[in-house]
Copies of this chain bind each other. A is one copy, B any other.
Amino acid sequence: MADTRFEVIGVPGLPMVEPGDSLVDLIQQALRDISESLQDGDVVCVAQKIVSKAEGRLIRLDDVEPSTAAVELAAETDKDPRLVELILSESDEVLRKKPGVLIVRHKRGFVMANAGIDQSNVDHAGGDQALLLPTDPDASAARLREQLQSLSSVSVGVVIVDSANRPWRMGTTSIAIGAAGIVVLDDRRGGEDVYGRELKVTMINNADALATAATMVLGETIEKIPVAIVRGLNLAGDSQNASIINRPLAEDLFR
């Protein structure tokens, strides 16, 4: 059941994240710097970018050898063949293509542009680099949750946030690519509306909503705020992760 008010608290002050960094240590330090500490029920929303960086998912394009398929697709879409190679290696299926854009089904089930691979807010000083999604974002979320809970002695949720485009809406909102410790999909089917009529198709996506709310303080140009705490909602739950959000292929009307 939703509560009637909540707060979203951006956490600034994290340093640039490097491979092998302990996110939990960086987050705890940044919280101390703003005189905040985690409370029971908080959901810690973390930008995908710093999770990927900590996990060493930054790839030097010079180290990538594009396949023939990648070279052809790159020519067709006017993209860097090395980047296309990375996109293909991260994906199960290319759904749509146009100059500059490849819409794919990521190996983890997400339908997204360019397999979520990003070149912004990445250091290119030593040659062009690209940042892949975490290998297993739900596992990353679960690990971070355990570490945060063990250090703070409170019960929290974790959401890993990625910005996402949608086919018919301009402008990005966000999605949860990883989640732990929250009710991801709140299934209210079978409940009743205010007139006592059965609700038929109401399933709320808490994880994507949390990710999107967090984005209002994260944003793309402000990697200096890569973490946001959502406080005041009662969404705790243990058994779901973000992979359940992917709509089954058999129900996909827009392949």
Interface residues of A (CB under 8 A from B): 2-10, 12, 16, 96, 98, 101, 103, 110-111, 119-125, 163, 166-175, 184-186, 188, 191-195, 197, 199-200, 202-206, 208-210, 212-213, 215-225, 233, 244-247, 252-254
Whether A197 lies near B124 (C-beta < 8 A) is yes
Given A199-B120, A202-B220, A220-B199, also A171-B208 (CB < 8 A): yes
Nearest B-chain residue to A169, judged by Cβ: B245
How far is B171's CA from A204's CA once the two chains are assembled, in angstroms?
A: 5
Complex contacts, A191 vs chain B, CB 8 Å: 221
How far is B48's CA from A33's CA once the two chains are assembled, in angstroms?
A: 41
Whether B247 lies near A168 (C-beta < 8 A) is yes
Chain B's nearest CB lies how many Å from the CB of A81? 18
Q: Which of B103, B163, B233 contacts A253 (CB 8 A)?
A: B103
Q: How many copies does the complex hold?
A: 2
Query: Which 8 pairs from chain A and chain B are nearest by CB?
Result: A171-B205, A4-B10, A111-B168, A213-B213, A96-B253, A212-B212, A167-B254, A121-B193
Chain B's nearest CB lies how many Å from the CB of A30? 12
Whether A7 lies near B6 (C-beta < 8 A) is yes
Whether B167 lies near A247 (C-beta < 8 A) is yes
- 7 CB contacts below 8 A, A to B, read A2-B216, A2-B222, A5-B7, A8-B213, A120-B202, A166-B166, A191-B221
Whether A205 lies near B172 (C-beta < 8 A) is yes
Q: Which of B110, B120, B185 contacts A170 (CB 8 A)?
A: B185
Q: Which of B3, B172, B208, B217 contacts A3 (CB 8 A)?
A: B217
Given A220-B202, A223-B194, also A246-B170 (CB < 8 A): yes
How far is B129's CA from A114's CA once the two chains are assembled, in angstroms?
A: 44
How far is B212's CA from A212's CA once the two chains are assembled, in angstroms?
A: 7
Whether A195 lies near B246 (C-beta < 8 A) is no
How far is B233's CA from A244's CA once the two chains are assembled, in angstroms?
A: 31
